[in-house]
Amino acid sequence: MENLKRRRVVEDAKCKACLAAEEDTLHAIWSCEKLQHIWFPCFSWVQTEHPQIPEVQELISLVGQRSDKLELFAVVAWFIWNHRNRLRLNEKGLASDRILQAAMTYLTEFQAKLPKAAPKPSKGHVRWCPPMGERFKTNYDGAVFSESGEAGIGVVVRNAKGEVIAALAEKILYPGSVEMLEALAARRAVNFIVELGFAGSEFEGDSEVVCRALRSTESGHSSIGQIVKDIMSIIGSLSFFSFSHIRRQGNCVAHALARRAIVSFPLLVWMEHVPSDIEPFVIADIPGSQ
């Protein structure tokens, strides 16, 4: 409301919820008296130790001192912001006394969908192998989300040091079979390399059927024949390429990205890094790591 008043959109910047103070950002998500019952159960320590906080940036910094609380803080603030916008537009929204529980449930469900920590390699464990020389290796995989009728595609491009060059997670409609999904993941991987402008790459996936089809000249009549033809057409623009098969144990990063696609909107791309929940899988694959 302060910003709107400054721009002469409104004449009065008073908070519509409490009618007691002008509404700046800090007031809108934190200090309004109508919000105290939402914040108190989990964040009373901030209010007790720091009763006078001048701006949002300092509030976030203080909450960040307890890293286990920062995600919940962000989700609760997001719920509050949406709640206040609905009030402003005279729309029906969630009752304020339900915001904290709704935010906690939302965060718990979101975290449950993320990939679990990377497993430690055991004896005989199949590991990802880096590409030769200055080349790149692109791993791809698919994951099925049966409850929603959707699927995920994960692609990661790495160099000989195991460093991530680029990665993506994409959510699509389930194509009807795992074989078709893996073929679509392979096509997305090839397209990704072309989109990045690279001269070529080694491509690796954990579907033997797809890898065999990509290396064969007799795949035209298979269920994935048209997808294979598409891949061969796209890959013609590359100077070099190869297709290889690896067991799922050695394809953990691509698989984790495919699983993460359930929370993509519908496509997320990362350059030279991956999300923090995928990092353990990348580290586990770095040559020389234990």
pLDDT band at 3 (very low <50, low <70, confident <90, very high): confident
What is the C-alpha to C-alpha distance for residues 256 and 267, in angstroms, rounded to an integer? 15
- If asked whether residues 85 and 179 sit together in one domain, one would say no
Residue 226 within any structural domain of the chain: yes
Average pLDDT score over the chain: 88
Structure tokens at 231: 């891949």
The tens digit of pLDDT for each residue in 88-132 reads: 778 887 888 889 888 888 888 887 776 665 555 555 567 899 998
What is the C-alpha to C-alpha distance for residues 223 and 235, in angstroms, rounded to an integer? 20
- If asked whether residues 206 and 273 sit together in one domain, one would say yes
Amino acid sitting at position 50: H
Indicate the pairing of strand 137-145 with strand 150-158: antiparallel
How many separate domains does the chain show? 2
- pTM for the full predicted model: 0.60
- If asked whether residues 101 and 208 sit together in one domain, one would say no
Residue 65 within any structural domain of the chain: yes
Residue 118 within any structural domain of the chain: no
Asked if 207 contacts 140 with a C-beta cutoff of 8 angstroms, the reply is: no
What is the C-alpha to C-alpha distance for residues 183 and 87, in angstroms, rounded to an integer? 48
Give the residue-averaged pLDDT of 218-228.
Answer: 75
* pLDDT at residue number 217: 56
Domain that holds residue 228: 137-285
- pLDDT at residue 4 is higher than 90: no
First to last CA, the chain: 54
- If asked whether residues 67 and 143 sit together in one domain, one would say no
The tens digit of pLDDT for each residue in 21-64 reads: 999 999 999 999 999 999 988 888 887 888 888 888 888 888 88
